[in-house]
Amino acid sequence: MNETHNAKIVCTLGPASDDRETIEELAEAGMVVARLNASHGTPEDRAAIIERVKAVDASQDAPLATMLDLPGPEVRTAAIDSPVRIDEGSEIDFLVGEEASSSEVGLSVPITATAVGDRVLLDDGRIETEVLEIDGDRVRARVDTGGELGSRKGVNVPGVDLGLEIVTESDRRELEMAADRGVDFVASSFVGSAADVYAVGSVLEDLGMDVPIIAKIERADAVSHLEEIIEAAYGVMIARGDLGVECPMQAVPMIQKRIVGLCRDEGTPVITATEMLDSMTTERRPTRAEASDVANAVLDGTDAVMLSGETAIGSHPPRVVETMGEIVGEAEASEEYATLREDRVPDPGESRTDVLARSARYLARDLGASAVVAATESGYTALKAAKYRPDVPVIATTPDEGVRRRLVLSWGTTARHAPFTGPGEGADRVIHNAVQAAVDAGVVEGGDTVVVLAGLMTELERANTTNMLKIHVAAEIVASGRSVVAGQATGPVYRVRSGDLGDVPEGTIVSLDRGFDEEFTGDVGKIEGIIDAHEGMTGYAAMIARELDVPLVGDTPLPERVENGIVLTIDGERGVVYEGDLTAGPAER
């Protein structure tokens, strides 16, 4: 799977892509979140798809998350077998029902809260009508723009509060299934305020679910309450389809930029969605305008871009994801992208975590570090690291599998599982585990400098702060034992079995096995450090180390795979032996 992009790719699964093989292909192409649209199919269908996605996630190192997109208080036309023609200039009645014709359209919920002169728009505004009168449970309207009306098409009534509950009975059934299957995100449709987000959260809490809420911005009143919605939700989705019906079409591009900017400054993950590569539902190449649309979202700083029908019902879903990845990669490689990222670093405010995360960004840049490594239990620290958009990858490590999957939606973040500590271990072990996970992910190599940002919620031995920033050199631990003589030394290692130092070069790390029972002969001044397999603090080797003032790590047999001449670094204070030269700065390496 390609994890090199900062902007992530969300894919909607459907009949063209919900089998195990295609899900694997989409993940390999770059999908990090599988979206399930609850407006179509049944909860049982989605439960089966979730299990397939989780199986793919379990089979790969890179996390793959699931997102359940709730229908919310939507209004849809009746389910019909074939489209009906709605003629311009004709009159049409809307009422709750399960049939549709050219003169009467059944709806899923009543729209009698409308008033004369209100607009009723069908199928993303393709069919436009204006209310003429309300007669009991019927709303009569004039058709201003006609067209073919298909099955279960969306209905918008811009600027009108229809009095619908934000969480419908259908939504509750979906959430019960989601609680049972353990989805990673819940997308809430048609939110208009922070209160709507909290209402969804209350239902989730009642079901025992601790799941991040993605608030979909698709109503005009949501645009009026952006700041409070962004603060209340874990993330935001710019659902440009309904948004372009509820608001003037020409206003949508600037609304999109405003939402991305607000989310970027707050560190709130934002998804740009709807018709990004729509022509690829049937075609093998996107239009130039679609490619520009994706690239501009990336340049704005979106955390993710989303595919809908392109992957749900399209002719070649994996190719669409590959194409989107290519467009994202090209945009992110541009000088314009680098300049914008450097110019838009937000102010940290008074939050200590924000100050440290922003500092980590600039430390990584100025030191030539390979990554910012964020060790986090809840995901909070990693979100803050991503907020400041460093020009190196953010490697988030966490002991929580749910948090690992959740972080795939964050800009520039590679998430991996790593344990925090074991019994009696402290903050140093947290850092080691986090950095080792970055090495295992292939983002960091031994000898690379990394900036470690740790959010420690657990009480750890020797850790008296909830936030920690450290410059660290990544290296493989060759062996570890007991600190006997403090200090740090680097040099080629030589196993000394007889005590004869005649052939040992200057600046050597000598290794003594448990069978060594001799005294050194020759120039002991050549010794830079000692790795001793013997236990105890007062043996012959310890005496020599103290006399020479060189570090010694005791109770540390050197593995047989380590050959003479390999450069090692020993840390006498921690009792650890590393592979490579950790004393050189980034430029020297």
* CA count, 13 A, side-chain hemisphere, 560: 0
Catalytic residue among 66, 77, 272, 274: 274
Looking up tokens 């699964």 gives 13
Catalytic residue among 20, 22, 76, 138: 76
Q: What are the backbone angles phi and psi of residue 268, rounded to the nearest 5°?
A: -95, 125
Question: CB of 62 within 8 A of CB of 1?
Answer: yes
Q: 461: which DSSP letter? A: B
Cα distances from 396 to residues 8, 17, 90, 386, 541, in angstroms, run 15, 29, 59, 10, 41
Q: How far apart are CA 449 and CA 405, in angstroms?
A: 26
Amino acid found at 190:
F
Which residues, including other chains, have CB under 8 Å from residue 543's CB and lie 6 or more apart?
none
Residue 467 CB neighbours (<10 A): 18
DSSP conformation class of 285: S
Backbone CA torsion sign across 542, 544, 547, 552:
negative
Is the Cβ–Cβ distance between 294 and 399 less than 8 Å? no
Owner of token pair 């539902």? 281
Compute the C-alpha angle 312/317/319, nearest 5°: 160
Sign (positive/negative) of CA torsion 400, 406, 408, 410?
negative
The question of whether 216 is a catalytic residue gets the answer yes
Instruction: List all residues 6 or more positions away from 387 whose beta carbon is below 8 Å from its beta carbon.
Output: 264, 266, 267, 346, 354, 357
Q: Which amino acid is at 361?
A: R
Half-sphere exposure of 516 (CA within 13 A, CB side): 24
469 Cβ neighbours under 8 A, 6+ residues apart? 356, 359, 360, 363, 451, 452, 453, 454
Q: Quick check: helix, strand or coil at residue 171?
A: helix
Residue 340 phi, psi (nearest 5) = -60, -40
Helix (H) or strand (E) holding 440: helix 427-440
Distance between CA atoms of residues 485 and 452, nearest Å: 27
Q: Which residues contact 249 (CB under 8 A, 6 or more apart)?
A: none
For residue 340, the surrounding DSSP H or E stretch is helix 335-343
Strand 270-273 with 304-307, pairing: parallel
- Could you confirm whether 76 is annotated as catalytic? yes
- Residues 227, 233, 236, 239: is their CA dihedral positive or negative? negative
Give the Cα separation of 14 and 19 in Å (integer): 9
Three-state SS for 325? helix
Tell me, letter by letter, the H, E, C secondary structure of 487-528: CEEEEEEEECCCCECCCCCCCEEEEECCCCCCCCECCHHHEE
Calpha distance 156→160 (Å, rounded): 9
Return the active site residues: 35, 76, 216, 274
